[in-house]
Amino acid sequence: MKTDEEKTPGLRAAILAGCMVAFLGFGFAATFGVFLTPMSQDLGWGREVFSLSVAVQLLTWGFAQPIAGAVADRFGTARVLAFGAICAGIGFALRGMTTDPTAFVLTGIFVGAGTGAASFPIVIGALGKIVSAERRSFILGLGTAAASLGMFVAAPTATTMIGTIGWQTALIVIGCSFALILPFLIFIARVAKPTASGSSASDFGHALSVAFTDRSYLCLFFGFFVCGFHVAFIQTHLPAYVMDLGLAASIGAWSLALIGLFNIAGSFFAGWSGQHLSKKAVLSGIYFARAVVISLFVLVPVTEVSVLVFSAVMGLLWLSTVPLTMGLVAQTQGLKFFSTLAGLVFFSHQTGSFIGAWLGGRIYDVAQDYTLMWWAAVVLGLLAALIHLPIREEPGPLARAEAGGDA
């Protein structure tokens, strides 16, 4: 039997290039929360302004994701990634140039559209379609781990830049860094070919209508909302939360870095478990574990040690949901419209992200406290653990039609 490399020459180079794109495209977008305190203090803004810009970014990312996925399915991944890198770079640079709160909020549209087209979900979607089903979960985990490594590097790097060159220049430098993505797209373009190039708009519409009548897809769609809520609230507000409690800004930055570092291990475990265990059971366990960890973090006294331990444990659970969720989308819905359907699931994730990022800032400005948000995260984690249990881990109507040559 031929290996994946024999079937697709250049696959290893494409996987490495995809990991580099995930590394470069995700890190600074996921650790933007380190800018909250210095920007709010310098510009005299409430946290809701900053949170709203992040929320607009995340929601735009969610809207852009299924569109980018559909374009990638039909015209190829590399073009989508190139557009995203340029758009995100412009957005970050504009953030460093504006002092008007309305304009700052609107920069979230540029960053969101760019990250929606150039972030790791598009990359791992492309890689997941060109490897065998047996290796798919591992490759999805590898791409997610690369994105997590970007988060680990980006948080302390951004904090160092803020302290040395100021937040304005730091944001412009970050914007320019997205240009580093472009050379790697050559390798991806060689192997990531369109899978739905001959499909019409009605074909895409039919695929969507079938998917949204599949119970398994709906469970994944609504469950991933909770992941977005958790991730966005914590990555946006955790650095400010620990500073509010009297800890150093460096602890907030390292808390995000530790999340990224330990999520590398979490992503690899998720990729491995997706090949050997029930994906839905592992997903349910991850959400339940998140609820327990957040509960303990709220209940125990907050110290430097407790913050770093919380970050490390949450890191293990952070994006480990991604390879399992995307793997189940591929397993239950097939590969022909995979980027589109995975993008829609990610839209749900980003809707949760919008609410988590914005509502955290809104509640803080009103109550000067994050307690309500922490307990909301606990309740949602428990609900997500239950939502994933009814999923059927078998091909759904779209996947069966594709296997039979009808899709």
Q: Count other C-beta atoms under 10 Å from residue 44's C-beta.
A: 10
How high is the pLDDT of residue 45? Answer: 81
Q: Structure tokens of 148?
A: 């997590």
What pLDDT sits at residue 221? 92
- Tell me the mean pLDDT in the region 226-253: 88
Q: Which residue has the tokens 């969720």?
A: 325
Read off the pLDDT of each residue in 202-214 and give the average, rounded to a whole number: 79
Q: Is residue 226 pLDDT above 80, yes or no?
A: yes
Identify the band that residue 193 occupies on the pLDDT scale cut at 50, 70 and 90. Answer: low
Residue 382 has a CB neighbour count (10 Å cut-off) of: 16
Residues 6+ apart with CB under 8 A from 189: 76, 77, 78
What mean pLDDT comes out for the span 273-292?
Answer: 91
The three-state DSSP-derived secondary structure of the chain is CCCHHHHCCCHHHHHHHHHHHHHHHHHHHHCHHHHHHHHHHHHCCCHHHHHHHHHHHHHHHHHHHHHHHHHHHHHCHHHHHHHHHHHHHHHHHHHCCCCCHHHHHHHHHHHHHHHHHHCHHHHHHHHHCCCCHHHHHHHHHHHHHHHHHHHHHHHHHHHHHHHHHHHHHHHHHHHHHHHHHHHHHHHHHHHCCCCCCCCCHHHHHHHHHHHCCCHHHHHHHHHHHHHHHHHHHHHHHHHHHHHHCCCCHHHHHHHHHHHHHHHHHHHHHHHHHHHHCCHHHHHHHHHHHHHHHHHHHHHCCCCHHHHHHHHHHHHHHCCCHHHHHHHHHHHHHCCCCHHHHHHHHHHHHHHHHHHHHHHHHHHHHHHCCCHHHHHHHHHHHHHHHHHCCCCCCCCCHHHHHHHCCCC
Portion of the chain with pLDDT greater than 90, in percent: 29
pLDDT tier at 68, thresholds 50, 70, 90: confident
Which residues are CB-neighbours of 67 under 8 A, at least 6 positions away? 116, 343
- Percent of the chain at pLDDT above 70? 91
Average pLDDT over residues 307-325: 91
CB contact set of 128 (below 8 Å; sequence gap of 6+): 136, 139, 140, 326, 327, 330, 335, 338
Q: Give all domains of the chain, ordered by start, each with its CATH number.
A: 9-397 (1.20.1250.20)
pLDDT tens, residue by residue, 135-184? 777 777 787 788 878 888 888 888 899 999 999 999 999 999 999 999 99
pLDDT at residue 398, as a whole number: 79
Question: Between these two residues, 7 and 404, which has the higher pLDDT value?
Answer: 404
Residue 306 confidence (pLDDT):
93
What pLDDT does 172 receive?
94
pLDDT digits (tens, 9 = 90+) for 364-391: 888 888 999 999 999 999 999 999 999 9
pLDDT score of 95 more than 50: yes
When the pLDDT of each residue in the chain is averaged and rounded to a whole number, the result is 84
Chain centre distance of CA 86: 19
**Can you give the pLDDT at residue 123?**
76
Q: Which residue in 384, 382, 354, 53 sits closest to 229, CA to CA?
A: 354
| Highest mean pLDDT, choosing among 97-101, 289-293, 299-303 | 289-293
Residue 213 has, within 13 A of its CA and on its CB side, a CA count of 8
Distance CA 213, CA 195 (A): 23
Integer Cα distance of 293 and 311 in angstroms: 10
